[in-house]
């Protein structure tokens, strides 16, 4: 048989045509001949991966965000049921279909096969081109699979592992600093995640260069000593029953007289040197200077502020997380010229035009490329982080995120259901997130933490499948 017309097309035209096909059709095309097999392994055809949805027959391949919605509880329960059915399923044993519905078993088998094929055949060829990996609500994905996928996809910017059964070992490759482009990480409902994952994440995001200030003779020093703004007493004991203290530093804003976001130094009661230092800092502060303390509420245990635009904290304000965040991102550009943005405020407010607020009321950096490191390389560009229901996370994990330069681009932070974090840990992390938008900042209603008047409350109050200290009330 002679060559057909399609095979005579130049490769760039053929590639253009392949771009209109879904993942299942691409796989079929790869079996036509070697030339087509090579073409279907072109990275641009596999930028956004949704294997869990593909296993259900949905062939969506566009960028994430446009269709993300928090599913209802009944749907999540059905996925958990499928997961349990899968637990009883053994590839090498006879399947007792009375244990679960045949449809559920067939669905999980299909999903499992697709995930295996992805990890063993597709990602080794196209992994470097992958930007989005969405495994949300998978009932079959394991930590080993995620670990393999992450090691093959170093350029990921969007990772969604919502409501999966993964543990800290899934992120082992991040210890080597393997994901410096990550902008969106959703670990909602991953109850096995602990501080270890946050430490690995912090390493994976890379290091921001230390702030430099001009010294004598124009020489640059690595950093300047920071004046003390407050001594914060931890009123909530930590997991070990110890009360902690922290010092809040007033950091100078780069190039201006106004103070920048405060820095927080946590004190460990077991470190006597730290305690003595704290006493010394406290004496110095008692001697006078408290000008930079805009979070005056920290000291006396009161969360009041004198701002004219004070709003009540929106407790139990439940929205679709990702959809809400997308809405914020879309309208941010429209609001750039002034007016009310999501999470913004009246333009006549004493704090200035609508802008996401930091601890000291300063505006967040403009929309655009994330922080630039030496040589123009992006570092720590994380904008979205959800740890909702990750009940093992503690202040130590939040501290790991605030180190290495903090999270300068973070706008959305969900810590609903993180039962072990305290106001001290929250304060430390928030002080390293100058772009954080209160509208998209969620944590337990029982904590009187940073931005208490304007941050959103816990999102898990009415949620039957994620941790919350008030579940059952
Ligand atoms: Fe939900 Fe405390 S974790 S209110």
pLDDT at 226 over 80: no
The DSSP code for 155 is T
pLDDT in tens, 14-45: 999 999 999 999 999 999 989 899 999 999 99
Strands 213-214 and 158-160, bridge-based pairing: unpaired
pLDDT value at residue 103: 66
Which atom, in ligand 1's list, is nearest to the CA of 460?
A: 1
Query: Helix and strand tally (H, E) in the chain?
Result: 14, 12
Q: Name the range with the highest mean pLDDT among 273-282, 357-366, 431-440.
A: 431-440
Place of tokens 């029953």: 241
Q: Name the range with the highest mean pLDDT among 122-126, 245-249, 306-310, 320-324.
A: 122-126
122 lines ligand 1 (CB under 6 A): no
- Residue 25: C-alpha distances to residues 48, 54, 113, 123 (Å): 16, 12, 17, 17
Q: Please give the distance, rounded to the nearest whole angstrom, from the Cα atom of residue 103 to the centre of ligand 1.
A: 36
CA–CA separation, 120 vs 235, rounded Å? Answer: 51
462 lines ligand 1 (CB under 6 A): no
Contact present, 459 and 386 (Cβ < 8 Å):
no
Place of tokens 């294997």: 51
Contact present, 150 and 141 (Cβ < 8 Å):
no
420 lines ligand 1 (CB under 6 A): no
Q: What is the DSSP string of 49-65?
A: E-HHHHTTT----S-TT
Please state the length of the chain: 473
CA–CA separation, 152 vs 15, rounded Å? Answer: 23
Q: Which of 316, 391, 392, 416 to mutate to test the pocket of ligand 1 (most atoms within 8 A of CB)?
A: 416
Angle, to 10 degrees, between the axis of helix 423-430 and the axis of helix 395-402?
10
Q: Please give the distance, rounded to the nearest whole angstrom, from the Cα atom of residue 447 to the centre of ligand 1.
A: 9
SS3 307: coil
SS3 372: strand
Going by pLDDT thresholds of 50, 70 and 90, the confidence category of residue 347 is: very low
313 lines ligand 1 (CB under 6 A): no
Place of tokens 């630039």: 372
Q: The tokens of 42 are what?
A: 């072109």
Poorest-confidence range of 110-124, 197-211, 426-440? 197-211
The DSSP code for 22 is -
14 lines ligand 1 (CB under 6 A): no
Name, in order, each residue with C-beta under 8 angstroms of 453's C-beta and a sequence gap of 6 or more: 303, 305, 310, 311, 312, 313
pLDDT at 243 over 70: no
138 lines ligand 1 (CB under 6 A): no
How far, in whole angstroms, is CA 44 from its chain's centroid? 25
Residue nearest to atom 2 of ligand 1 (CA): 444
Contact present, 426 and 244 (Cβ < 8 Å):
no
Going by pLDDT thresholds of 50, 70 and 90, the confidence category of residue 288 is: very low
pLDDT at 455 over 60: yes
Q: Please give the distance, rounded to the nearest whole angstrom, from the Cα atom of residue 322 to the centre of ligand 1.
A: 20
Which atom, in ligand 1's list, is nearest to the CA of 470?
A: 4
Going by pLDDT thresholds of 50, 70 and 90, the confidence category of residue 177 is: confident
Which atom, in ligand 1's list, is nearest to the CA of 443?
A: 3
CA–CA separation, 403 vs 377, rounded Å? Answer: 19
Contact present, 156 and 179 (Cβ < 8 Å):
yes
Of 328, 329, 313, 244, the residue nearest 461 (C-alpha) = 313
pTM: 0.68
Phi, psi of 258 (to 5 degrees): -70, 145
Q: The tokens of 210 are what?
A: 């230390």
Of 323, 325, 313, the residue nearest 457 (C-alpha) = 313
416 lines ligand 1 (CB under 6 A): yes
CA–CA separation, 430 vs 437, rounded Å? Answer: 10
172 lines ligand 1 (CB under 6 A): no
Of 454, 452, 461, the residue nearest 416 (C-alpha) = 461
Strands 263-267 and 245-249, bridge-based pairing: antiparallel
pLDDT in tens, 88-133: 554 444 445 445 566 667 778 889 999 999 999 999 999 999 999 9
444 lines ligand 1 (CB under 6 A): yes
Place of tokens 């922290």: 246
pLDDT in tens, 388-421: 999 999 999 999 999 988 999 999 999 999 999 9
Q: Please give the distance, rounded to the nearest whole angstrom, from the Cα atom of residue 424 to the centre of ligand 1.
A: 17
- Residue 117: C-alpha distances to residues 79, 129, 149, 332, 457 (Å): 22, 17, 11, 40, 41
CA–CA separation, 228 vs 112, rounded Å? Answer: 55
């Amino acid at each position: 048989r002679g060559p057909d017309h399609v095979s005579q097309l130049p490769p760039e035209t053929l590639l253009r045509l392949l771009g209109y096909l879904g993942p299942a059709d691409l796989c079929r095309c790869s079996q036509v001949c070697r030339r087509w097999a090579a073409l279907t392994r072109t990275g641009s055809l596999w930028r956004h991966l949704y294997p869990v949805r593909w296993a259900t027959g949905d062939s969506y391949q566009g960028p994430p965000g446009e269709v993300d919605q928090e599913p209802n509880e009944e749907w999540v329960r059905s996925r958990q049921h499928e997961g349990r059915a899968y637990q009883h399923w053994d590839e090498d044993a006879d399947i007792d279909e009375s244990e679960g519905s045949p449809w559920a078993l067939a669905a999980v088998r299909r999903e499992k096969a697709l995930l295996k094929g992805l990890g063993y055949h597709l990602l080794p060829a196209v992994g470097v081109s992958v930007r989005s990996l969405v495994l949300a609500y998978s009932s079959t994905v394991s930590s080993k699979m995620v670990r393999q996928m992450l090691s093959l996809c170093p350029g990921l910017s969007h990772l969604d592992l919502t409501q999966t059964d993964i543990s800290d070992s899934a992120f082992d490759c991040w210890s080597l600093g393997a994901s410096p482009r990550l902008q969106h990480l959703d670990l909602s409902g991953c109850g096995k995640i602990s501080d270890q994952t946050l430490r690995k994440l912090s390493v994976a995001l890379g290091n921001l260069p230390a702030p430099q200030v001009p010294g004598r003779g124009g020489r640059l020093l690595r950093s300047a000593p920071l004046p003390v703004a407050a001594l914060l007493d931890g009123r909530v004991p930590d997991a070990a029953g110890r009360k902690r203290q922290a010092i809040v530093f007033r950091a100078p804003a780069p190039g201006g007289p106004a103070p920048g976001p405060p820095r927080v130094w946590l004190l460990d009661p077991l470190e006597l040197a730290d305690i003595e230092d704290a006493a010394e800092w406290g004496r110095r502060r008692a001697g006078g200077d408290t000008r930079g303390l805009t979070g005056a509420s920290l000291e006396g245990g009161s969360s009041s502020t004198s701002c004219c635009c004070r709003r009540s904290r929106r407790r139990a304000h439940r929205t679709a997380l990702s959809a809400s965040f997308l809405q914020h991102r879309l309208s941010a550009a429209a609001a750039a010229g002034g007016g009310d943005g999501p999470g913004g405020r009246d333009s006549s407010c004493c704090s200035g035009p609508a802008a996401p607020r930091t601890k000291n009321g300063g505006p967040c950096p403009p929309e655009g490329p994330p922080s630039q490191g030496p040589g123009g390389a992006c570092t720590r560009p994380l904008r979205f982080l959800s740890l909702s229901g990750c009940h093992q996370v503690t202040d130590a994990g939040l501290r790991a995120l605030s180190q290495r330069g903090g999270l300068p681009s973070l706008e959305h932070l969900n810590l609903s259901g993180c039962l072990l974090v305290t106001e001290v840990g929250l304060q430390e992390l928030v002080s390293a997130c100058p772009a954080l938008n209160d509208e998209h900042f969620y944590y337990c209603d029982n904590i009187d933490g940073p931005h208490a008047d304007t941050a959103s409350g816990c999102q898990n109050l009415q949620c039957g499948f994620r941790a919350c200290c008030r579940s059952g009330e």
